Structure formats: C-alpha cells, structure tokens
Amino acid sequence: MRLFIIICTIFLYSCESSINKSVLEPLSTSEQRDILSNRPELKEYYPFIEKVRDSILVSDLDKEPFVNLSYEKVLDFMNRATDTSKFNLMSIRNEKIWIKNNAETVAKIDSIISYWEPFKGTNKAPEVIKTFWKYGKFDTDYRKAEIGRDLIDSNFRSKKEYCLGKVIKILSEYDSLSFDYILRNDDFFNGEPMRYVLDRNYKVGDTPVSVQLVF
C-alpha cells in the first residue's frame, strides 16, 4: 500500500511538473502521455503550440513574452475561450451593441464596393490602383481613387474606426476587385479585446482576384 501511494505521488508530481513547463520547452513523448491522462485537450492544441514555437518564435526577442507561459495556462485559456455556453452569449450581446452603434458606418463602407464595381469591366491595364483615405469621419469625402503607376500605403483614422490600407501592385490585367475590411472600436486599442466585435465584409468577383485592397 505504501509503495502504491509513493508511485501515485511520483506520477502526479511528474504530470504537474510537465504541464507547468514553458511552452518554449518541447514535451517528450512520455511527458505528453502523462499530461494527456488528465488533460486530453493537449492532443488538439500541442501541434499548434509546436508550430508557433518552431516557425514563428524564432529570435530570443520573439520568445521573451512567452517564457512564463506554461502549457497549463494555454490549456486553461483555450478551455475558457471555447466554452460556448458563456462565449456565445457574450458574442450575441456584443454583436447587438456593434450593430446598433455602427450600422450607419458599415453601410457607408459597403458603398465602396458599388463605387469600384465599374472598374471591373472598363479598365484592363497593367497599372497600379492608388487609393487615398483621408483622415476624418466617413461622412466626409471618404473615398477617392485613380489609376496610376505609384504604389501607396495609407492610414485612415476617424474617431471610432482605425484602418490600415495596403495596395498590391498589378503585374497583369485585372479582372475583378476584392475588398476586405475590419472595424475595431476604441476598446480594442485600449487593451479590452473582449468588449469588441469584429465586422468583416468580402466582395469577390466571378473571376480570379488579381487585385485586393485590404482595410
């Protein structure tokens, strides 16, 4: 009996010490097996952790913020984040707030698609689309475009919306335009990500996209 207790104690300690390791430290096969006995969700998330550690966190500077992030903390966070009984209710509530506060702005952004639609069939030249985004609210002159040979990256900022625009150079004739925008409210930039809801809109033509404007 005493031997059994000792063996169980050693086993539990081994599991605990492994799960408390930094995600920057790979787990051996035996360590993974030990953790899986109590935290089976590791099987789903460990490949992703490996990929991030080995291909994204390359330099010491990249790794520094994750030194004290343990496997246990990652698993606990993912369990909370995927708890639909709570998260779905929060998402529904935030979506209603977002629509109430931003419906008018979203409608104006959607009109950009209509603005660009004529270019799809009337402009067939290996050029660069140059887009200007003015600082200010969307109810000002919020869209201007011209065909030119210059490549420009521009920033747009209003009281509640922040956008980063990128323009991709066209190497051949384009057949269609694709628009992708994301709106984030001020809370996103103030470190309160749970209080914002992202709103996306895609417009893809019938033919392969060779030009994409990302906001």
For the chain, 215 residues long, give each residue's pLDDT as a single digit of tens: 444 443 444 444 444 578 899 999 999 999 999 999 989 999 999 998 888 888 777 788 888 888 888 999 999 888 887 777 766 777 777 777 777 777 776 666 666 666 666 655 554 443 434 333 333 333 333 333 333 222 233 333 333 333 334 444 444 444 444 544 444 444 444 444 333 333 333 333 333 333 344 32
Residue 131 lies in a domain: yes
Instruction: State residue 172's pLDDT score.
Output: 47
- Same domain? For 68 and 108 the reply is no
Containing structural domain, residue 182: 103-214
- Same domain? For 69 and 118 the reply is no
Residue 87 lies in a domain: no
- Same domain? For 32 and 131 the reply is no
Q: Which residues contact 196 (CB under 8 A, 6 or more apart)?
A: 94, 98, 184, 185, 187, 188
Instruction: State residue 126's pLDDT score.
Output: 39
- Same domain? For 112 and 70 the reply is no
d(CA 117, CA 62): 42
- Same domain? For 120 and 173 the reply is yes
Instruction: State residue 72's pLDDT score.
Output: 92
- Same domain? For 125 and 55 the reply is no
Residue 141 lies in a domain: yes
Query: What predicted TM-score, i.e. pTM, was given to this entire model?
Result: 0.39
Q: Helix, strand or coil for residue 30? A: helix
Residue 55 lies in a domain: yes
Residue 98 lies in a domain: no
Instruction: State residue 113's pLDDT score.
Output: 61
Q: Helix, strand or coil for residue 140? A: coil
Residue 142 lies in a domain: yes
Residue 24 lies in a domain: yes
Closest by CA position to 137, among listed 110, 163, 164:
163
- Same domain? For 107 and 200 the reply is yes
List the structure tokens of 67.
């030194």
Cα-atom radius of gyration of the chain, to the nearest Å?
25
